[in-house]
Amino acid sequence: MKNELRHGIELLEISLNEKAILQLEQYIELLHKWNRVYNLTAIRDPQKMISHHLLDNLAVLKHLWDGRWLDVGTGAGLPGIVLAIAQPDWHFSLIDSNSKKTSFVQQAIIDLKLNNIVVHCARVEIWQPTEVFDGIISRAFSELGDFINCSRHLISKQGRWVAMKGAPQQELAEVPNGCRIERVVPLQVPGVNAARSLVIASCERSEGI
């Protein structure tokens, strides 16, 4: 598994130090252990977790930007934990309404000694933090239009949404009024034989603070 992770990182052409690679390996060990009891992910095979959880999330890294990030519907910490490990200077807030999953995420944050993450157990559409975010990301959280609408009060004036999708063509027309698709980026993920893409969207008139 270690060789597969390192080889996948090379194919993605991203640079991670040894500490980050070790933390990613430890995260998969924790996920596999907790998954037996809490049913955090449908993927049970640790080797498949490398490609479908680690590399799949790392593939978006080159298309993101520095700032404050919100991971909506984080589940078991995907993509938030993976991105926070890869970018320790960025700040990530992770939100999910499932308390079992946020309990796992909180424990993973402690075990992995991640100082750039906070986790919240709440519904994003009614969550009212004091901060807004430069980027809001989701992975299989909801349809694109719903994702933007339910988190629109949380985006900064210059912020953008990033939706991790398979084949998103049917969802692109659902962007709310005043918003637009900036880019649709096709992704190639080592070990994943399925369509992957990244949809980046923005709104002309943000409702953020």
CATH topology of domain 2-203: Rossmann fold (3.40.50)
3-state secondary structure the chain: CHHHHHHHHHHHCCCCCHHHHHHHHHHHHHHHHHHHHHCCCCCCCHHHHHHHHHHHHHCCHHHCCCCEEEEECCCCCCCHHHHHHHCCCCEEEEEECCHHHHHHHHHHHHHHCCCCEEEEECCHHHCCCCCCEEEEEEECCCCHHHHHHHHHHHEEEEEEEEEEECCCHHHHHHCCCCEEEEEEEEECCCCCCCCEEEEEEEECCCCCC
Instruction: Give the model confidence (pLDDT) of 18-74 as tens digits.
Output: 999 999 999 999 999 999 888 899 999 989 999 999 999 999 999 999 999 999 999
Tell me the pLDDT of the chain averaged across its residues: 94
Q: Where are the domains of the chain?
A: 2-203
